[in-house]
Structure 1
Amino acid sequence: MSGKPINLEQVKLYMRERKAGKTQATASARSGMSERSGRRIDTGELKASSDKQRSWSTRADPFINVWDLEIVPLLTTNHDLTPITLFERLQKNHPGEYPDNKLRTFQRRVCKWKALYGPGREVMFRQEQVVGRMGLSDFTRLKKVSITIAGQIFPHLLYHFRLAFSGWCSVKVVHGGESYTAFAEGLQDALRRLGGTPKEHRSDSLSAAFRNLSKEAVNDVTQRYRQLCQHYNMEPTRNNRGKGHENGAIESPHGHLKKRIKQALLLRGSYDFESVTAYEVFVSEIIRDINAGKVDKIDEERRHLQPLPLQRTVDYTEKVVRVSTSSTIQIKRILYTVPSRLIGESLRIHIYDNRLDIYLDSTLTVTLPRVFVSDNKHRARRVDYRHVIKSLERKPQAFRYSQIRDDLLPNETYKAVWNWLDTEMESRKACKVMVGILALAHRADCEKQLGGYLQDQMNNQALPSLLALQQRFDTREQTVPFVKVEQPPAASYDVLLVKQSQEVH
């Protein structure tokens, strides 16, 4: 209609009619406009009047009385104040005037003020990734996923190394927390697998590795990090503390890596693994698939990497301890047993992330799996009955009140066996039988089979005979030497009688 603006509803009705196949004239007539206006809509010349941006407010400003007097001075003084903090202050100073349904309006108002009058924000400068220049390291943790090993929760971290240009990556399962040992071991494993070294290595500030360390220990770790990078001819760099985006070439891939692991676990149908090794193989297969999709860029970057040194450098922490008369050593609040033949000796311990290599002088004598203190414990033990069983077998009554009695029993089955024997047998006999069972398990290397048999015996309420157990499980061939005894003839004794008779006369 002439002189009357066309509204949005008319335009919508016209477009629906046109989509339904109506002509311009018919659609225009049904929409209450001229055919000329219909042509202008089809060519995009005419839009509904409601599409015009208005420059006025449609309702009264609820904060007009307090904005300039109270809010602006606070924002000017401290730009870090959040809208919710300021809104709660308004509600406290003006009870009943600012209900919660005004919060969103207030938040938009504060954000607009900060955009117009606030300080400049930090700018992210996108970096060009140069081939062969940078490798990055960081630790990460799987969240909302509980990996179990044989039904037991397995607390762990993932050490993640990545090349910035090609995206080649390596992951190591870390049994404990963030530490220099785990970092050095994971980095060297990655570089050996890669076959070369980048010119620069970047990590975060390693603050977690420095936690609870003295100033001297922190300086020692810093120096060791520099020496590690120097050994591989890499320039050591760190991002500024609290600036994770400076490590963005690995922080962002953390999320992609963890997502792939979670998806692979869902396809697998279980978060439980029979051993730590099985879980490590599972993770390594995921990493292999990630790297397989970047073969061209990885091959290009490998041509620009520096050569590896011939040998690894030190990636362990060393400690010297003396073995106590209880055949134990103390390492980082964990009590470990060692073979009793080492009692009184000074041992040099190489502490790795997942194991302890124990040396007597320069000879590797034993390797122990490393144990970590859980969050709700200050100390722990790692006891192997095989280390002390020969001595215990000679004095079985020491078993009952030993401080490490429960730790000497290798699993829950053997603990149940001890409780059963202690209930059903006389005190001294129960100790003797239990120690004999442990000695048999060690001597015949049948801990699992023997435990299963004893479980069946308990279910049948049949007390085991130690002799019967030995005959059943101790299958070692026992050879009895043949001794030939020659019986002298009786006539030979006559010589003695004749000689005695001559002496009497």
Structure 2
Amino acid sequence: MPGKPVTDQQMRYYMTDRLHYSQRIAAARAGFSERTARRIDADPRLPSQRKSARGRTVPDPLEAVWEPVLLPILERDPAVQAVTLLRHLQMTDPDAFPDDRVRRTLERRVRDWRALHGPERDVIFRQTPEPGRMALSDFTDASELGVTIAGKPLQHRLFHFVLAYSGWEHAAVVLGGESFTALSENLQNALWTLGGVTHEHRTDSLSAAYRNLDADAAADVTKRYEAFCAHYGMIASRNNPGEAHENGAVEAHNNHLKTALDQALILRGSRDFSELAGWRRFVDELVARRNRRREAAVRTEMAELRPLPARRTTDFTEVVARVTKTGGFLVHSVFYSAPSQLIGKRLRIHVYDDRIEAFLGATHVVSHPRQRGRSDGVRVHCVNYRHVIHALRRKPQALAGSVYREGLFPRSEYAEAWAALSAALPRKDACRRMVDLLWLAHDEGCEAGLAALIAKTLAQGNLPEAGTLKQRLVPRRRALPEDPPVQLTDLASFDALLEGRA
């Protein structure tokens, strides 16, 4: 064929046929022209034997600088980039390298040098997972899913627990950062849901859990994590910092889980949930469906798991705080209210990822959803109006200037009532009316019903007043129901029983 080089095989066919056929016929049978046959007869070497080594067609633009200038720099630090070397040449000899014309040539030269003489590269060793051997945990940012709670964006993470062999997984919504509290609480939930314990538990370097901790606090977290794993009989291991592939069994599942959640939210038609519990339930249901597809592998792995201990271990952080005269206590720069009877008492606070529990001795006294401090220094308040309503009723004027006034309102309708009252009435009257509304909600136990009446009153253009709204509330049943009639048994019937036994 014209334009195609003759191969060694074609030439062998030609030389064999040439013994029996003419030059034209032998060339046609071999697949080339008679002119090519004449060249072959003149030089019977095979094409592969006639090939000459290909040399440069243009002069090497780096010949004068590669060995004396550039190689010493590369050997001293192979991480130097080709463009850095080019800028160095342009500064030292601007006449020889006025532009970036040799950049691609230099990049290829540096690439080839690294491949032949560069430092050793890290190698990833693929592993064969063993049933019951390893479980892995990780935190992954889930804000990209765009989930909202009652219209407000939810900034959160997912704690993700995966078995290396079967792929069984457990996921939990984490509102705070990567902390030991979040790890211990959710890891225990995963193990008790699974019903067994693996031989080894691997995490990443837990650098986020140690962030902003001094040396003593970091050492304490390390001891607590080791004690936690010892309680369950697991070997605690971590991957090397910056080597995410060492935690790859869970890193890959992170992306798969978030993709599955994203697709499930698309099918749902909305990413908004009325409350956080609805989003948690949505995650749990999707993970349960994914685990059902792994039942065969899970049964194999369950046979190799160790039994759970008799009880759970500590999955919270404990701090001690004193209830001040302002009616609350501070935990991690957040103010939490407490009943006024506890003023001056020292409470033991159990800090979980999503709540705090306060104890006076061994008696549970206060619960609050956990809040996080703000980065701008403004103090966050978490106040239950029932804790301070008795004192506020005696001093209603304190409502107007209270630093945690907005936190006192249990529902948005109460905040709207305060805005309307403070705009229409003098401060003294507005405070008294608002405190009366809060007292009515507390005393009658009608927080939701009263909120509905307040909204209706405001919609009609009127100001809410406790005495008027109390008459419209459904009366709370205070008296016990009447005693039901009791039919007493005739004593003579017992004589019949005794006679029958005789």
TM range (shorter): 0.7 to 0.9
Matches within 5 A, 1:45-194: 55-56=54-55, 61-90=60-89, 97=97, 99=99, 103-142=103-142, 144-194=144-194
- Give the partner amino acid of 1:305: L
Contact 1:169 1:287 in 2 (8 A): yes
Q: Distance in 2 between matches of 1:191 and 1:420?
A: 52
Spell out, residue by residue over 1:452-473, the C-alpha distance to the aligned partner (whole angstroms, 9 max, x if none): 4434433443223331112123
Cα distance, 1:209 vs structure 2: 0.9
Compute the displacement of 1:430 (Å). Answer: 0.8
Query: Aligned residue for 2:440?
Result: 440
1:484 maps to none
CA apart distance, 1:331 = 0.5
What is the distance in 1 between the residues matched to 2:93 and 2:473?
Answer: 85
The offset of 1:88, in angstroms, is 4.5
Question: How many angstroms apart in 2 are the aligned matches of 1:448 and 1:54?
Answer: 91
For residues 34 and 168 of structure 1, do their structure 2 counterparts lie closer, same or farther at Cα, with a shift above 3 Å needed? Answer: same
Match of 2:14 in 1: none
Counterpart of 1:284 in structure 2 is: 284
User: What are the ranges of 5 or more consecutive residues in structure 1 without an aligned counterpart?
Assistant: 9-32, 39-48, 480-505
Could you tell me how far 1:58 is from its partner in structure 2? 5.9
Structure 2 length-normalised TM: 0.80
Match runs of 1:420-459 below 5 Å: 420-459=420-459
Which residue number in structure 2 is paired with residue 222 of structure 1?
222
Change (3 A) 1:253 1:478: closer
CA contact (8 A) 2:440 2:466 kept: no
**Equivalent position of 1:343 in the other structure:** 343
Pairing of 1:188-267 with structure 2 (within 5 A)? 188-267=188-267
Is contact 1:355-1:369 (8 Å) kept? yes
- CA contact 2:417–2:464 (8 Å) conserved in 1: no
- Give the corresponding residue for 1:410: 410
The equivalent residue for 1:325 is 325
Q: 1:109 to 1:266 in 2, by over 3 A?
A: farther
Task: Name 1:387's counterpart in structure 2.
Answer: 387
- The amino acid of 2:31's aligned partner reads S
| Equivalent position of 1:462 in the other structure | 462
Q: CA–CA distance in 1 between the matches of 2:434 and 2:340? A: 20
- Kindly report which structure 2 residues correspond to 1:7-26, keeping only aligned pairs within 5 A, or say none: none
CA distance in 2 between partners of 1:283 and 1:67 (Å): 59
User: What are the Cα deviations for residues 9-30 of structure 1, in whole angstroms up to 9, with x where unaligned?
Assistant: xxxxxxxxxxxxxxxxxxxxxx
Q: 1:420 to 1:378 in 2, by over 3 A?
A: closer
> In structure 2, how many angstroms separate the alpha carbons of the residues matched to 1:387 and 1:421?
23
Q: Percent identity?
A: 42
In the alignment, residue 224 of structure 2 is paired with which amino acid? R
Q: Please report how far the alpha carbon of residue 103 of structure 1 lies from its aligned counterpart in structure 2 after TM superposition.
A: 4.6
Q: Quick check: 1:265–1:271 contact (8 Å CA) kept in 2?
A: yes
Question: 2:307, 2:285 → 1: CA distance?
Answer: 26
CA–CA distance in 2 between the matches of 1:223 and 1:199? 19
Match of 2:482 in 1: none
CA contact (8 A) 1:335 1:382 kept: yes
For the residues of structure 1 that align with 2:263 and 2:89, how far apart are their CA atoms? 47
Contact 1:90–1:98 (8 Å) recurs in 2: no
Partners of 1:267 and 1:94 in 2: CA distance: 64
Amino acid at match of 1:341: Q
How far apart are 1:86 and its partner, in Å?
A: 3.5
Superposed displacement of residue 368, structure 1: 1.3
Which residue identity lines up with residue 150 of structure 2 in the other structure?
A: A
2:31 maps to which of 26, 37, 62 = 37
- 1:345-404, Cα deviation, whole Å (9 max, x unpaired): 221111111111111211222321111124445631111212111221122112122222
Contact residue 440 and residue 474 of structure 1 kept, 8 A: no
For 1:54 and 1:273, the matched residues in 2 are separated by 72
Alignment correspondent of 2:10: none
Asked whether the equivalents of residues 226 and 236 of structure 1 are also in contact (C-alpha less than 8 Å), the reply is: yes
Pair 1:163–1:429, CA change in 2 (3 A): same
Are the aligned partners of 2:437 and 2:465 in contact in 1 as well (CA < 8 Å)?
no
Q: Quick check: 301-310 or 247-256, which moved more?
A: 247-256
1:75/1:403 CA distance change after superposition, 3 Å: same
Q: Give the AA of the match of 2:4.
A: I
TM-aligned CA distance change 1:374 to 1:403, over 3 Å = closer
- 1:177-225: CA deviations, max 9, x gaps? 0111111111111110111111111112211111111212111111111
The offset of 1:87, in angstroms, is 4.1
- Relative distance call for 1:119 and 1:476 in structure 2 (3 A) is same
User: How far, CA to CA, are the matches of 2:57 and 2:262 in structure 1?
Assistant: 50
In 2, the alpha carbon distance for the partners of 1:58 and 1:441 equals: 93
Deviations 1:272-317 (A, max 9, x none): 2111111111111221122122111111010000111110011111
Q: How big is the alpha-carbon RMSD for the aligned residues of Structure 1 and Structure 2? A: 2.8
TM-score normalised by length of structure 1: 0.80
Name the counterpart of 2:4: 6
Residues 345-360 of structure 1: matches in 2 within 5 Å? 345-360=345-360
Q: Contact (CA 8 Å) 1:357, 1:367: kept in 2 or not?
A: yes
Which deviates the most, 323-332 or 82-91?
Answer: 82-91
Return the offset for 1:95. Answer: 5.5
Match of 2:44 in 1: none
